Amino acid sequence: MKPKYTNHVSSLRAVSTVVAFLAVSAFSAQAADLTWDNGGSSNNWNTTDANFTGLWNNGNTAVFGGTAGSTVTINTAGISANGVKFNVNNDIINGTSTNILTLSGGNIITVGSGLTATINAPLAGSVGVQVENTGTGASILNLGGASTVTGGGSASLGLIVGATTASNTVNLSSGGTMAAVSGTNRRSLYIGSSNFNTGSASTGSNIVNISTAGNSGTPTFSVLGNAGAVTIGHASSSNELNVSNGAYVAQSSAGGTTTWLMGTQANANSNKLTVSGTGSSIVFGSNHAINVGGAGDSNSVTISAGGKIGSRRFGIGTNGGDNNSFVVTGTNSIATTDGLGASNALFEIGTTAVSNGNFMSIEAGGKYVFVGSGATSRYFAIGRLGDDNYMEIKGTNSLLDVNFNEPVTIGGTSTGTAGATLTEGGVRNHLDINTGGAATLTGTSLYVMGTDSAVNLGNGTGVGTLTVGATSGANNAGVWLRNSTGRVNFNSGKLTAGAAGNLVSGSGKVDLKGDATVSTTFSSTISVVIEDSTSSGSDFIKEGSGTLDLTQVNTYTGDTIVKAGTLQMENAYLANAAAVRLFTGGKLNLNTGVTDTIAALYFDEVLQAAGTWGGTGSGADNINTTYFADNSGKLLVVAIPEPGAALLSAVGLLALLRRRRA
């Protein structure tokens, strides 16, 4: 098993939290348990009706263990309890905006194994809320009040679910809110184990569902404390936070950096965060980050059905974790840094050398919008140091939209002005833009670094489009293949120039595993070899009103098609069995000075006669200034024999028929 990194800072902070737990336990031991028996027959929780085992005294622990399904109403102000225990099923505590339940001293609400309890009274207090069950089975607590829960010092708590037991579910629904989880909370929302050193399956499988509708003005759940943090599965597995039904979770602070952590320690696996439905949102303030999978594996974030997460920084597989994922799926679903301040924006997948197989998927109309400005420690990196990390964009209207003044990198990082500092990453990292997907890198370049890193455009069933090009601030205008193993792989994909200059350059190659379309309205260059390593025979297609210059002795064997603008070739390399297909508005500039042999020539899909073809100055038998630029090179179209001629083999006939396809 590979080594995992340990977050020592989190562990030190966690020690303070453990101390807080112990302090709470010590306080609880001094308080008495008063059991509800409705002896006063009023169903009211106050200090005058003898509905507990005697009169209620504030500061004791309230135990509900009589008749199941009791409805208790707090009908007076000033009720406080050290804790609450539910030992029977379906008990309900009601209250009002003035008749609240204050947790004083202790903070633990216990729900018995297999039971469901409901508190519709607002909760208050400065000691947070900790929810546990009896430790032998699942339990559910519904919170339906407008609670104001604060924490005090740096070790204080907000809402803590399942710190010492497993399978707790808390539903913040039916009007339930926690709109002031404040103070300098280190654990403002904490789901999972309190064992801070190693994973513990016995404290996993805890769930928090937040589904009361809210907005930026009136959040459903608000973390306000300086450096307040949210942890889903610090050291345990299969914990969940689900935000739905238009719920709005706000994260802000008076200063410091706040990080939401999932799967923090080794073996903290399969924890989940979902944001689903129109208006359902998690929105961060300044200097905040969300990390999916620290040292844990297979942790996931999913934004769907119009949900939103807004954060300046996103990390996936940040501290040795593997196979962690971030998925944005469905129309109007979005992850974004936009509007949150560009100077601290950062994105990374596979942060450390042992963070492998992590990925982000943007699909079915989802979007990731990244707006940032580069600095010494700011970057957009797919496979920063780990192996086999990737980002994929697939499905109609799915979009990666990057507006950044530093290069986006695959298999490494680029930092500093114009990518002054380059750090090689791991192997086999890649960016995949498949059918219907698009990536627009505005004002920036794409650096393909590391070993065997790639950009994959299309998956053979439809078009995936990458638009890239820096007008200033980066070393190369388009895709730079820094190493010889770097590839731009086409399989029905499209590459569009966003600026003039080098569209593809460096030491790697362009590989046609399927048809390739290149579009430019600028003067652009591809200065690497274009090949088809799998002998696909795929076509190379030029679109756009600009000029595309191919400078190398390319080796692809398919047709060359010019639909618009000018395709300039510096060498004679076209395959003898291939065709050239030129359309009105498109020209071929044969800047070769020699003759290049092909099997067929088409103008607007009309087959032309055999012989030599070219522009003025080529010396060709057939001069055409509509489809050929004036230059010295020319095409030799071999004579097409009559059907059945002895020299036309069956193989040759099949090849010719393929070249004549529309």
Query: What percent of the chain shows pLDDT beyond 70?
Result: 85
CA distance 493 to 393: 12
Is residue 103, in this structure, part of any structural domain at all? yes
pLDDT at 253: 64
Is residue 643, in this structure, part of any structural domain at all? no
pLDDT at 317: 97
DSSP secondary structure code for residue 256 in this structure: S
Average pLDDT over residues 529-539: 96
Nearest CA to 43 among 75, 85, 89?
A: 75
Q: Are 432 and 390 in contact (CB under 8 A)?
A: yes
pLDDT of residue 24 exceeding 90, the answer is: no
What are the distances in angstroms from CA 235 to CA 262, 269, 580? 9, 8, 62
pLDDT at 11: 37
pLDDT of residue 374 exceeding 70, the answer is: no
Between 456 and 157, name the one with better pLDDT: 456
- E strand residue ranges, 16-94: 33-36, 44-45, 61-64, 71-74, 79-86, 91-94
Between 58 and 405, name the one with better pLDDT: 58
pLDDT of residue 575 exceeding 60, the answer is: yes
Is residue 651, in this structure, part of any structural domain at all? no
pLDDT at 182: 59
Please write the tens of the pLDDT for every residue from 620-659: 999 999 999 999 999 999 976 544 433 444 444 444 444 4
Is residue 589, in this structure, part of any structural domain at all? yes
Alpha-carbon dihedral 445, 451, 454, 459, rounded to 10 degrees: -170
Burial class from Cβ neighbours inside 10 Å (0-12, 13-18, 19+) for residue 501 reads: middle
Between 197 and 145, name the one with better pLDDT: 145
DSSP secondary structure code for residue 418 in this structure: G
Is residue 662, in this structure, part of any structural domain at all? no
pLDDT at 615: 96
Unique residue bearing structure tokens 């995936």: 464
Average pLDDT over the chain reads 87
pLDDT of residue 87 exceeding 90, the answer is: yes
Unique residue bearing structure tokens 């050193």: 197
Total count of domains within the chain: 1
CA distance 324 to 317: 6
What string of DSSP letters covers 352-409? STT--S-EEEEETT-EEEEEE--BTTB-EEESSSSSS-EEEEESTT-EEEEEESS-EE
Unique residue bearing structure tokens 């597989």: 317
Is residue 237, in this structure, part of any structural domain at all? yes
What string of DSSP letters covers 576-609? TT-EEEE-TTEEEEETTSSEEEESEEEETTEEPP
- E strand residue ranges, 65-186: 71-74, 79-86, 91-94, 101-111, 116-119, 123-125, 129-133, 139-143, 146-149, 157-161, 168-172, 177-181
DSSP secondary structure code for residue 311 in this structure: -
Q: Are 464 and 435 in contact (CB under 8 A)?
A: yes
CA distance 282 to 300: 15
pLDDT at 127: 81
Q: Residue 405 sits in which domain range?
A: 8-637
Stretch (H or E) spanning 251: strand 248-251
pLDDT of residue 2 exceeding 50, the answer is: no
Stretch (H or E) spanning 26: helix 8-30
Q: Are 146 and 177 in contact (CB under 8 A)?
A: yes
Query: What percent of the chain shows pLDDT beyond 90?
Result: 70
Question: Angle at Cα 504 formed by Cα 498 and Cα 510, nearest 5°?
Answer: 130
- E strand residue ranges, 399-492: 399-404, 408-410, 412-415, 421-424, 430-433, 438-442, 446-448, 454-457, 465-469, 479-481, 487-490
Banded pLDDT at 258 (limits 50, 70, 90): confident
Is residue 649, in this structure, part of any structural domain at all? no
6-10, 158-162, 309-313, 564-568: range with lowest mean pLDDT: 6-10
Which distant-in-sequence residues (6+ apart) come within 8 Å of 197 by Cβ?
A: 11, 235, 265
3-state secondary structure of 19: helix
pLDDT of residue 569 exceeding 50, the answer is: yes
pLDDT of residue 26 exceeding 90, the answer is: no
| Strand 622-623 with 390-394, pairing | unpaired
Of these ranges, 11-25, 497-511, 640-654, the one predicted with the greatest mean pLDDT is 497-511
CA distance 201 to 132: 15
3-state secondary structure of 484: coil
DSSP secondary structure code for residue 203 in this structure: G
Is residue 333, in this structure, part of any structural domain at all? yes
pLDDT of residue 96 exceeding 70, the answer is: yes
CA distance 510 to 455: 10
Average pLDDT over residues 521-525: 97
pLDDT of residue 153 exceeding 60, the answer is: no
Average pLDDT over residues 459-488: 87
Average pLDDT over residues 313-320: 95
Average pLDDT over residues 161-181: 90
Nearest CA to 425 among 410, 436, 406, 440?
A: 410
3-state secondary structure of 14: helix
Banded pLDDT at 249 (limits 50, 70, 90): very high
Please write the tens of the pLDDT for every residue from 230-242: 899 988 999 999 9
* Token duo for residue 540: 């190379």
pLDDT of residue 103 exceeding 80, the answer is: yes
CB atoms within 10 A of CB 645: 11
Between 254 and 33, name the one with better pLDDT: 33
pTM value is 0.90
pLDDT at 6: 40
pLDDT of residue 201 exceeding 60, the answer is: no
CA distance 173 to 177: 8
The HSE-up count of residue 56 (CA atoms within 13 Å, CB side) is 30
